Structures are given as structure tokens and as C-alpha cells.
């Protein structure tokens, strides 16, 4: 028999459905992703730490789960909200269903929810905290539990998902470039693409000092994606302040925000964030429009950029900043995900630009 479940939002609204995945309770910021594919990459993306993800696509689980399409070693989302679960996957690579995958890793989800109504609510009122429960249906009790869930404002989550110690990764050390990767929650496909472009990688924890990075003497420094409020990652902002100008720097997502803050820019929290694989971004230097994969809840303020920062990319949905480059030092970054996992390949040229900076 289907076990009932409840999603209770911070403003008191209730969405009822059925248990999906593990039984229990979970809290986090409720957000939505507009991608029609790539649910496995979404589940395992560390940038979703402490977030309950709602999928706008109504059917989730069609292709099951496999051992290749993962972005980290485990599921990272706090909870999962869907309209309809496909219990019998159809794909030659599938090893299990998505429901079994969630149960195996003790992730609480809810299905049977009107995800269209939930998405419209978040778009209109903004992202808010919520609690999914399969064991408690008392609204007063759920409200009290939710009250202890911290806001994403001021929350440093990079240290929750970063590697505990440095490690190396390369294709038999045959790469031309040695790159220091600062891990704020790096996705596996980013590492794969850096390797495929001839980079030997050494991955460092988020709180690594500039002294340790420079002692490695890399040809370039890569600042990865990650969760949480970028302004709270003060230790890494200080580190980046000390290495910019010393080595070429390339940042993605949280790395973009941290680089911008180190250069003197400001960040702010978006109303409901950008999450999906279909976001149009205009390259201001070429005039071309790229369809991009995105996952972020904060943005760099376009109206408060230092004089040495040039905006290079703009989101065509809301005109927020999506990319920068420096005029006086070799550093650039983008807010979106050019590694395209999941998502289109329109922006992979950015990895070539990083190589160009290291060559120069």
C-alpha cells in the first residue's frame, strides 16, 4: 500500500503525496529544476547540498540509474519532489530504479505532488525552506521542526562537501598543464573535461591556503562549483585574493562568485535561482546565444563591478550577470556549467580559453 507523505512549506502551505525513496523526514530549501533529463546528475551534484529539489518534468525515472552518470560519490540533495515515478526503467545501462537508488542512500522524497503548482509558488514567492515527512502529519509539529532549519543566507556549505585531503587525478601524468582545483563541491565531469584538455589535476580542500596552492606551483587554478552563500566562504575569498595575478584563474558557479568577491564585486540571493539545462545566455563579446546548464541561487551584482572587471555573459531570462573577465590579470569565470552534465555543449569553448591563458 502507498504510504502517505507531506511537504510542508515555511509559509504554511501543504502539499500531500506519497512516500518516494526512504521513509523519514528531511528539511532544506525547496527549489525547482526545469531539466527534462539528467535527474541522476542533479541528485549527485554537490551544489544541491541542503536543498529539496522539485523536478518540473512530470515523469522521473524513465531511464533508471547507472554507475556512470554520477557527479559525486553519493546523492547530495536533501530531498526530492516529483509528480510521477517510473518504477520500471527502460535503458540498457540501467542497474536499478530511481526509487531503489533513493532508498539505498536513505534519501527522503515525495511523489504525486502537483509540481506545476509548487513551481509557480516558488517563482511567485521565492525559494523557501520546507520539510518532507512520511512519519509525521501534524502540521504544528512540522512547523516547529522547520523553524530550526537555517536560511541559505550566510550559510557556508562548501566545507560540508569538499574533499577532506588533497588528491591527484590525471591521465597517466601525460598532460601538458598542472592545474590546482579548489574543491567547493566539484562535479566529476568538470574533472573529466579538464583531464581531456591535457591537464594533470591536484584537487585541494576548500580551505586550502594560498601558500599551499602556490607551493604546488600550478600552471593555472580552477575554482569549482559548490553550494551555499558565496559571501560566507571568507577563507577562500582571502585565498583567491592572494593568488590572482600570480596564476591564471578559471571559476565556475560558486567559483565564479568567489572570484568576483575577491576582485571587489558584490553578490546577492536570487528570488528563486536558476536551475535547469535550458537557460539562454548571451555572450556579450561575440553576440552569440548559448543554451546553458545552470544551478545556483546567488548571483554577482552587475551594477557593482570594479573597473577591472568586464561582464562577458548575460542571462536573457532576467538580465543577471553570467560571466566576467579581468582586464589586468589572467582571470575569468562563468555562473553556469560549461561541462554540460547534464545539458548542452554550447559553452565547452571556455575550457580552451583556460588553456590559452595558461599558454600565455
The domain that holds 68 is classified in CATH as 3.50.30.20
In a domain, 311, yes or no: yes
174 pLDDT more than 80: no
Residues 34, 14: Cα–Cα separation, whole Å: 22
Closest CA to 29 of 315, 270, 192, 212: 270
Query: Which residues are catalytically annotated?
Result: 253, 337, 339
Average pLDDT over every residue of 332-346: 94
- Say yes or no: 246 and 279 in one domain: yes
Query: What's the pLDDT score for residue 175?
Result: 85
- Say yes or no: 176 and 324 in one domain: yes
At 232, the pLDDT band (50, 70, 90 cuts) reads: very high
In a domain, 151, yes or no: no
Which of 146, 181, 210 is the C-terminal boundary of a domain? 146
In a domain, 152, yes or no: no
Assigned C-alpha cell, 133: 515527512
Q: Name the 3-class secondary structure at 298.
A: strand
In a domain, 199, yes or no: yes
Averaged confidence pLDDT in the chain: 96
182 pLDDT more than 90: yes
- Say yes or no: 166 and 243 in one domain: yes
Burial environment of residue 328 by CB neighbours within 10 A (0 to 12, 13 to 18, 19 or more): exposed
CB 290 within 8 A of CB 346: yes
In a domain, 153, yes or no: no
- Say yes or no: 130 and 69 in one domain: yes
- Say yes or no: 206 and 87 in one domain: no
Assigned C-alpha cell, 240: 583567491
The per-residue pLDDT for range 73-84, each reduced to its tens digit, is: 999 999 999 999
- Say yes or no: 307 and 328 in one domain: yes
- Say yes or no: 323 and 189 in one domain: yes
- Say yes or no: 204 and 273 in one domain: yes
In a domain, 176, yes or no: yes
Average pLDDT over every residue of 169-194: 91
- Say yes or no: 126 and 241 in one domain: no
Average pLDDT over every residue of 116-142: 97
In a domain, 290, yes or no: yes
Average pLDDT over every residue of 39-44: 97
- Say yes or no: 214 and 256 in one domain: yes
Residues ≥6 apart with Cβ < 8 Å to 144: none
Which of 146, 173, 195 is the C-terminal boundary of a domain? 146
196: enclosing H helix or E strand: helix 188-196
How many domains does the chain contain in total? 2
Query: What's the pLDDT score for residue 172?
Result: 66
- Say yes or no: 213 and 172 in one domain: yes
In a domain, 181, yes or no: yes
Query: What's the pLDDT score for residue 270?
Result: 98
Residues ≥6 apart with Cβ < 8 Å to 167: 202, 203
User: Helical H runs in 222-348?
Assistant: 234-243, 254-262
Query: What's the pLDDT score for residue 285?
Result: 96
Which of 146, 178, 213 is the C-terminal boundary of a domain? 146
Average pLDDT over every residue of 314-332: 97
Query: What's the pLDDT score for residue 144?
Result: 96
- Say yes or no: 214 and 355 in one domain: yes
User: What's the domain range around 128?
Assistant: 4-146
Q: What's 284's domain CATH number?
A: 3.40.50.880
Residues 352, 278: Cα–Cα separation, whole Å: 23
Residue keyed to cell 562568485:
257
DSSP 8-state class, residue 348: T
Amino acid at each position: 500500500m502507498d504510504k502517505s507523505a507531506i511537504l510542508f512549506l515555511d509559509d504554511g502551505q501543504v502539499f500531500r503525496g506519497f512516500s518516494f525513496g526512504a521513509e523519514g523526514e528531511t528539511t532544506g530549501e525547496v527549489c525547482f529544476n526545469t531539466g527534462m533529463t539528467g535527474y541522476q546528475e542533479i541528485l549527485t551534484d554537490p551544489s544541491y547540498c541542503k536543498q529539496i529539489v522539485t523536478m518540473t518534468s512530470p515523469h522521473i525515472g524513465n531511464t533508471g540509474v547507472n554507475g556512470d552518470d554520477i557527479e559525486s560519490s553519493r546523492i547530495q540533495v536533501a530531498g526530492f519532489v516529483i509528480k510521477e515515478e517510473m518504477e520500471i526503467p527502460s535503458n540498457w545501462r540501467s542497474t536499478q530504479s530511481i526509487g531503489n537508488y533513493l532508498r539505498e542512500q536513505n534519501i527522503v522524497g515525495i511523489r504525486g505532488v502537483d509540481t506545476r503548482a509548487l513551481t509557480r509558488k516558488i517563482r511567485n514567492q521565492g525559494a523557501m525552506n520546507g520539510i518532507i515527512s512520511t512519519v509525521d502529519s501534524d502540521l504544528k509539529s512540522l512547523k516547529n521542526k522547520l523553524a530550526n532549519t537555517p536560511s541559505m543566507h550566510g550559510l557556508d556549505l562548501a566545507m560540508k562537501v569538499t574533499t577532506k585531503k588533497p588528491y591527484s587525478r590525471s591521465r597517466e601524468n601525460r598532460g601538458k598543464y598542472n592545474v590546482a582545483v579548489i574543491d567547493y563541491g566539484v562535479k566529476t565531469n568538470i574533472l573529466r573535461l579538464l583531464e581531456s584538455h591535457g591537464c594533470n589535476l591536484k584537487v585541494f580542500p576548500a580551505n586550502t591556503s594560498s601558500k599551499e596552492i602556490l607551493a604546488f606551483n600550478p600552471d593555472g587554478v580552477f575554482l569549482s562549483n559548490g553550494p551555499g552563500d558565496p559571501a560566507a566562504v571568507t577563507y577562500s575569498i582571502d585565498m583567491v585574493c592572494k593568488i590572482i595575478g600570480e596564476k591564471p584563474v578559471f571559476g565556475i558557479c560558486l567559483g565564479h562568485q568567489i572570484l568576483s568577491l575577491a576582485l571587489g564585486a558584490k553578490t546577492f540571493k536570487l528570488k528563486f535561482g536558476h536551475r535547469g539545462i535550458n537557460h539562454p545566455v548571451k555572450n556579450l563579446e561575440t553576440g552569440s546565444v548559448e543554451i546553458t546548464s545552470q544551478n545556483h541561487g546567488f548571483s554577482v551584482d552587475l551594477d557593482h563591478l570594479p573597473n577591472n572587471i568586464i561582464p562577458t555573459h548575460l542571462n536573457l531570462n532576467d538580465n543577471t550577470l553570467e560571466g566576467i573577465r579581468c582586464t589586468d590579470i589572467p582571470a575569468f569565470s562563468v555562473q553556469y556549467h560549461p561541462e554540460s552534465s547534464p545539458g548542452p555543449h554550447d559553452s565547452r569553448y571556455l575550457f580552451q580559453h583556460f588553456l590559452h591563458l595558461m599558454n600565455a
